[in-house]
Structure 1
Amino acid sequence: MSYLPDQLKDEKNYYLKTIMQPGKTLSFCGTKLPVPGDCDAVLQGIYGDYHKKVKAGGDHGYPYFKKNEKLLKETFKENWLQDYAFKEKDLERPEVYSFRDIVLKTAEYFIASQKKSFEAFVRGDFSMVLALLSKAQEEAITLGNTIEQKKGTGTESVSYIEEYCEALYHAYQSISELLAIEENPMENLSSALRKDLERKLKKPGYYLRKLHSALEKEFKRQVVFLPHSAKHFDSLRPLIDSLLKAEDVECTIIPIPYFDRLGLGEFSDMHYEGENFPKGYNMTDYRSYDFAKELPDCIVINSPYDEFNHVWSVDPFFYSREMKNYTKRLVYIPWFITDEIDPEDKEDGKAFSNMEYYVTVPGVFHADLTIVQSEQMRKAYLEKIAQFAGRGISRKMSKKISGAGSCLLGEKEGQGTIAQFRRFLFKK
């Protein structure tokens, strides 16, 4: 597309009438466009051998596009909202605990409380012992109910909670009966009775250790994938296949809707491709998954643009800045690969300049890990970030960007993206 009066001023745009007429129409992006009759002659006149790949040259440098964009940015300054502007807070990470973390930390809290109960007994503070035992039982019942809501009845963990509560009850009863007889029971406590009470106070700890092991088995790490387009599923598929076969991970795939955008940025048609993804995978409806309740261990996004893609947008609920509030590990995996880019090679000038459209975007900064196709591309990402946000930010981002590979490059189990992802998922 071009502004014809401006093109008429440039003699290099003059062509023989026989080249231009009669015209014809060609299909382009779902529509029909008028083109010169001899397209080949026009393209050769502009580009020479246009079949030859040329990486060098300017970026998206239409005659007035960049100049006018720069003028608009200088005029509107902070009110220019068309492009992403980095803020330090985008690197901040809210403290989020997964559901798995919560139940395991609760079991560890019970173990610590059990230790306090025994220490209070040794000091002779029997009132404190009773208070701790009573509180522990109430909290254990709450945990058991929560697990049953999540996993249903009959779990091994709930059976250990029941035995733990029974042991707490017997310890509580024994201490209570002793206090009813003796005002200061430690002064007249026989050796045999003391050992019996110690045994009863230690017994709940046995079930707590069993409980912790059962919770680790029952509550596997949950990973949620949020693809938006079926045709880009291959960028995630080898990783998903690997996790589905793993015995230590639960994998959920949630296709999410996306919208076309009109000229002023407003949303137009909604697209949902849940039915178009490959068969053989269980797809979860995005409307039925409660992120605040589930709190997965990891969320994987495929779209990093948030509101700054002028052509389309995923549903705003699934923007990267929102998703990091529901998980402690947000991972971005690009849906595409490119030719390798060297920021110092003039031949790569155009490609490096155009990296702004997929590197200087919110998801890269909000994500806890971005996995790109190679170590060379990692260096290119970091150089682009340095030019965009400064060297200091680039150094911080070097810890968040991995050049482990791409599923689109035919990775195998234990290599590249899969190995890097598992290391990150299981990192303490």
Structure 2
Amino acid sequence: MTSFFGSVFWLLVTLGVLVTFHEFGHYWVARRCGVKVLRFSVGFGNAIWKRIGRDGTEYQIGAIPLGGYVKMLDAREGEVDPALRDQEFTGKPVWKRIAIVAAGPGFNLIFTLAAFWVMFMLGRPDVAPIVTAVPHSMAAEAGIQPGDRILSIDGRTVGTLTDAMDSVVNALLGRTPLPLTVRGSDGRSRQLVLPLEQLPAGQTVDQYLKELGLDLAPPPAIAAIVMPGKPAALAGMQGGDRIVAVNGQPVADYAVFQKLVPAEAVKSPHLQLAIERAGKPMLLAVDAQRESLQGQPVKWVIGVGGPEPEQVTLRYGPIRAFGASLQATWRNTAQTFNLIGKMVSGQASTNNLSGVIGIAQVANQSASMGLPWFLQFLALISLSLAILNLLPIPLLDGGHLLYYLVELVKGSPVSEQVMIVGQYIGLALLFSLMGLAFYNDIHRMLLS
């Protein structure tokens, strides 16, 4: 239940921040264009809080926190007091109406840049892009070896595992060959190509990632921590010892060591560990014991802790951080439009869409990882909100912009009948999109 309430809380924070910023864009530009704003609402439905400002605008928070709106003085919605006619929305020049409508997505774009900028200045903790491949997977057949460090993907330098996997995921959706530059554990660089075009069309990202088989490399089999008084310490093991074998079975990395200890201890708790210390081989006789660690189920242990993955923190000064935020915004914008295009054409599965449940879960996860990660999440959702609202769908900002562009071309407003038909089409499209996203969220929950 803690996860549930955490997801709900961070979803409300996310929607509250981004919707407020989006609607404030409409409000701010409308006021500068001389349009009277009647109501500024964050959320829909009955107001749970409201007040009248000095400017006569009613500010409120609605009971349904899934959006918001700015209600302006509009002759299409009723009679307008002649004294206020110069503050009415439809009477303004078309370029002012375009500016007011475009301001919402525009402010979301500004928020995206600002969030990325602050994130890069604070520093986002991550791990190095050191990877391995699942045996017999596509990544293994392409030449990925345990301990390879990804240096660049499709010509773009990557410094963290998150950046690397973001690029891989985007390429997976396009199913195009993906060139990599990696540096092996021997220090030599190699050029590889992941043949993503061989993947079947119409699958989800999770299915593609499973077939690709590219994973974070487990740390080396080094005893980073040797707990005093435990079997390994009593047998003479020291911090920094490299574990070579358990009962004669070779240990390639720490993950293999973690599996071998309980597997061999079940047969006999008397284990023989081959180690290297300062380059010299040694044999240790270790008697494993059954123990419950931190409330976990009882298991065979010897009191050894492994090393952490190599840590990397992306942290820049203000000027470089701003440049990085521009690059991140541009790259994610291109990737989003690319995904939309591929879903429309059928090249990418619509199962990749997420709705409010998916957003809530990711909001909670990113918040638990720290402020820089939550800022990145807010930046990506804000960018998605900007792009979604710019789509030429009636009822969205992009639909209104389309009407105004038509008005610029033909010299007169779009007819009321066309707008009514457009509203029905827009409602159908939006409800279909929301229903599909909600179905995907529920489907993922049932499978998890």
The TM tier, using the shorter chain, reads: under 0.3
TM-score, normalised relative to structure 2? 0.21
What is the TM-score with the length of structure 1 in the denominator? 0.22
Structure with max Cα Rg: 1
If asked which structure has higher relative contact order (CA below 8 Å, sep 6+), I would say 2
